[in-house]
């Protein structure tokens, strides 16, 4: 089974290599590169990403209607080209402020910090758009395992660097971190940091 899955992924990415498309590279730092892929313009590529995610995420339901989504594909770059290591998707227009719908780090690239990188990237885009964001709800158990430490460390880091401020509201934290207020309250409650 594992070798079949590996073959499927290898075949997909050899047939649908990032380098075969004229996709906008929106980030590059060292050997990491991020591409923004419009689900409407690159329907087959995005549907195949969703099919691959379905292999590893039990709760994954979207795989056909990719038109209203943007996909952010993270790649390692070397002399042979771009090698996808994971992706996240988000709705192009979210009424409730979701900045991430689905996230997957491919199993052979897990435990390298790419999941956290993708989450952080989604919030950096929210900051650039001058919005607050949140992952799509309800979150899966895996989603909560990824987001709780991210939110906790981001909020604590922000508070530690605000030493001149004696009073800080949840909305102040939200505006500066782009984390939605309800996620900040949830994190503070779970972390027992409210006194």
Report the catalytic residues: 136
Return the closest-CA partner of residue 148 out of 102, 195, 175, 115. Answer: 115
Residue 63 DSSP one-character state:
S
For residue 85, give the 3-state DSSP assignment. strand
Place of tokens 């992924």: 9
Which residues, 6+ apart, have CB-to-CB distance to 49 below 8 Å? Answer: 71, 73, 87, 89
- H helices within the chain, ranges in order? 2-15, 43-56, 114-128, 141-160, 170-177, 181-190
The secondary structure of the chain in percent helix, strand, coil, rounded to multiples of 5, reads: 45, 25, 35
Chain centroid to CA 107: 15
């Amino acid at each position: 089974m594992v070798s079949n899955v590996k073959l499927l992924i290898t075949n997909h990415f050899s047939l649908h290599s990032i380098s075969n498309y004229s996709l906008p590279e929106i980030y590059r730092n060292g050997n990491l590169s991020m591409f923004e892929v419009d689900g409407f313009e690159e329907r087959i590529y995005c549907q195949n990403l969703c099919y691959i995610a379905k292999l590893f995420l039990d709760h994954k339901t979207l795989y056909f209607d990719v038109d209203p989504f943007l996909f952010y594909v993270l790649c390692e770059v070397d002399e042979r080209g771009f090698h996808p290591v994971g992706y996240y998707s988000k709705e192009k227009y979210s009424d409730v402020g979701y900045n991430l719908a689905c996230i997957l780090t491919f199993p052979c690239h897990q435990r390298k910090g790419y999941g956290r990188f993708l989450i952080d990237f989604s919030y950096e885009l929210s900051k650039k758009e001058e919005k607050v964001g949140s992952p799509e709800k309800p979150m899966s158990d895996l989603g909560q395992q990824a987001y709780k430490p991210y939110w906790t460390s981001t909020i604590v880091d922000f508070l530690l660097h605000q030493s001149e401020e004696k009073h800080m509201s949840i909305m102040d934290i939200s505006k500066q971190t782009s984390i939605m207020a309800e996620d900040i309250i949830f994190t503070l409650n779970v972390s027992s940091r409210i006194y």
